[in-house]
C-alpha cells in the first residue's frame, strides 16, 4: 500500500468510526486534514481522557502518610521516651527484644555503632539510618507487624523517641515533637552517596573481553557450598550412564 493510500484509509476509518459514536482516542481533539492525522500518531501531546475522578481531601489525607527527612508530612503530636517505653514493651519487645537487640531472628533496632566496616555490620537507627523520618514513617505504616496502622500519631512519636533513646541518641527525659523533629543529627547521615557505578566501575565496560588464556594458572576450588551445607533438600549424587 502506498503512503498516501494508508493516510487515506486512516482518515476514512476515523470518519467512519466517528459516525458510529466511536472515536480514535489519539485523534480526538480536532478534525485535522488527512496529512495531520498521520502525524498525530507520532507526536502524541499529553492529553486527558477524563477517566478517573478527583480525590477528596480526606482521601488524600488518609493515604498520603509518607514523611520526608525535612519533616514534610509529619502530623501534629508529640511523645516522650518514657511513654514510648511502655508501648514498646507491650507491643514491640516480643519481636525486637527488650533493648532493641532483636529476639531470635527478628530485626535488631538498636546498637551496631562502629560495626559497618566489620564482619557483621548491624544497621540500626543509631549506626546506619541517615534520617529519623524513616523510623516515624515506617513504624506508622508497617508496625507492629501484623497490626499495621493501629498506632496513634502520639504513640508513633513516643516509639520513635524510645528507639532514639535505645540508640543513645537522646537522654531518657527526651520528648519528640513535630517542632524538634529535625533537631537531632543522625550519626551516619554523611555515610551515603548516590549510585556512581558508571564512573567508579567503568572498567566493567570492556570492548575486548579476553577469550583465551585469560588466567595465568589453572583455577583451584577454594570454597564449596556443600561444605557449608545450608541448602534445603540437597540431593545425592547422580548416576552417570
Partner 1 sequence: MTETGMSRETARLNRRGFLGAAGLAGAGLATAATGVRAAPPATPDPLITDVQDWARVLGDGVQARPYGSPSQFEKHVVRRDVEWLTASRESSVNFTPLHELDGIITPSGLCFERHHGGIAEIDPSKHRLMINGLVDKPMVFTVEDLKRFPGRQNHAYFLECAANSGMEWRGAQLNGCQFTHGMVHNVWYTGIPLKTLLDEAGIRTNAKWLLAEGADSSGMTRSIPLDKGLKDCLVVWSMNGEALRPEQGYPVRLVVPGWEGNMWVKWLRRIEVGDQPWHQREETSKYTDLLADGRSRRFTFIMDAKSVVTNPSPQAPLKHKGPNVLTGLAWSGRGKIGRVDVSIDGGRNWRTARIDGPVLPMSLTRFYVDFDWNGQELMIQSRAIDETGYVQPTKDELRKVRGVNSIYHNNGIQTWLVRANGETENVEIG
Judged by the rule CB under 6 A, the positions of this chain that interact with ligand HEC are 91-92, 94-96, 106-107, 109, 123, 135, 138-139, 143-146, 159
Determine if 199 is a binding residue for partner 1 (CB under 8 A). Answer: no
Q: Which of 182, 135, 188 is nearest to 157 (CA)?
A: 135
DSSP state at residue 167? T
Q: At what angle do helices 133-142 and 153-166 cross, to 10 degrees?
A: 130
Determine if 235 is a binding residue for partner 1 (CB under 8 A). Answer: yes
Q: What angle do CA 145, 166, 177 make, to 5 degrees?
A: 80
Determine if 29 is a binding residue for partner 1 (CB under 8 A). Answer: no
Determine if 21 is a binding residue for partner 1 (CB under 8 A). Answer: no
Query: Which CB, 15 or 94, lies closer to ligand HEC?
Result: 94
Instruction: Produce one character per residue of 179-196: b if its CB has 16 or more CB atoms within 10 Å, e if not.
Output: eebeeeebbbeeeeeeee
Q: Which residues 88-127 are close enough to bind partner 1 by CB under 8 A?
A: 95, 104-107, 116-117, 121, 123
Q: Please report how close the Cβ of residue 27 comes to partner 1 at its closest, in angstroms.
A: 10
56: cell is 477528596
**Exactly one of 5, 25, 30, 58 binds partner 1 (CB under 8 A); which one?**
25
Binding-site partner at residue 43 among ligand HEC, partner 1, none, CB < 5 to 8 Å by type: none
Q: Within its chain, how far is the Cα of 49 from the centroid?
A: 30
Binding-site partner at residue 104 among partner 1, ligand HEC, none, CB < 5 to 8 Å by type: partner 1
How far is the C-alpha of 177 from the C-alpha of 76, rounded, in Å?
8
Q: Please report how close the Cβ of residue 24 comes to ligand HEC at its closest, in angstroms.
A: 45
Query: Which CB, 8 or 106, lies closer to partner 1?
Result: 106
Residues 6+ apart with CB under 8 A from 172: 81, 82, 165
Residues 120-159: x where in contact with partner 1 by CB under 8 A, - otherwise, as a string: -x-x----xxxx-xx--xx--xx--xx-xx----------
Amino acid at each position: 500500500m502506498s503512503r498516501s493510500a494508508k493516510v487515506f484509509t486512516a482518515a476514512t476509518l476515523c470518519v467512519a468510526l466517528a459516525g458510529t459514536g466511536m472515536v480514535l482516542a489519539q485523534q480526538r481533539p480536532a478534525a485535522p486534514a488527512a496529512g495531520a492525522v498521520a502525524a498525530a500518531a507520532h507526536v502524541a501531546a499529553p492529553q486527558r481522557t477524563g477517566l478517573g475522578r478527583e480525590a477528596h481531601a480526606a482521601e488524600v489525607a488518609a493515604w498520603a502518610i509518607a514523611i520526608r527527612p525535612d519533616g514534610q508530612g509529619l502530623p501534629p503530636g508529640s511523645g516522650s521516651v518514657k511513654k514510648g517505653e511502655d508501648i514498646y514493651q507491650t507491643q514491640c519487645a516480643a519481636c525486637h527484644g527488650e533493648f532493641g537487640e532483636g529476639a531470635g531472628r527478628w530485626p535488631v533496632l538498636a546498637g551496631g555503632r562502629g560495626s559497618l566496616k566489620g564482619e557483621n555490620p548491624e544497621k540500626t537507627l543509631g549506626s546506619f539510618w541517615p534520617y529519623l523520618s524513616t523510623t516515624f514513617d515506617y513504624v506508622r505504616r508497617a508496625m507492629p507487624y501484623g497490626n499495621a496502622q493501629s498506632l496513634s500519631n502520639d504513640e508513633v512519636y513516643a516509639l520513635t523517641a524510645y528507639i532514639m533513646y535505645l540508640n543513645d541518641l537522646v537522654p531518657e527525659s527526651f520528648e519528640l515533637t513535630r517542632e524538634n523533629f529535625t533537631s537531632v543529627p543522625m550519626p551516619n547521615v554523611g555515610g551515603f552517596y548516590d549510585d556512581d557505578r558508571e564512573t567508579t566501575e567503568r572498567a566493567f565496560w570492556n570492548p575486548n573481553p579476553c577469550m583465551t588464556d585469560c588466567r595465568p594458572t589453572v583455577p583451584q576450588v577454594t570454597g564449596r557450598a556443600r561444605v557449608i551445607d545450608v541448602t534445603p533438600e540437597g540431593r545425592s549424587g547422580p548416576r552417570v550412564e
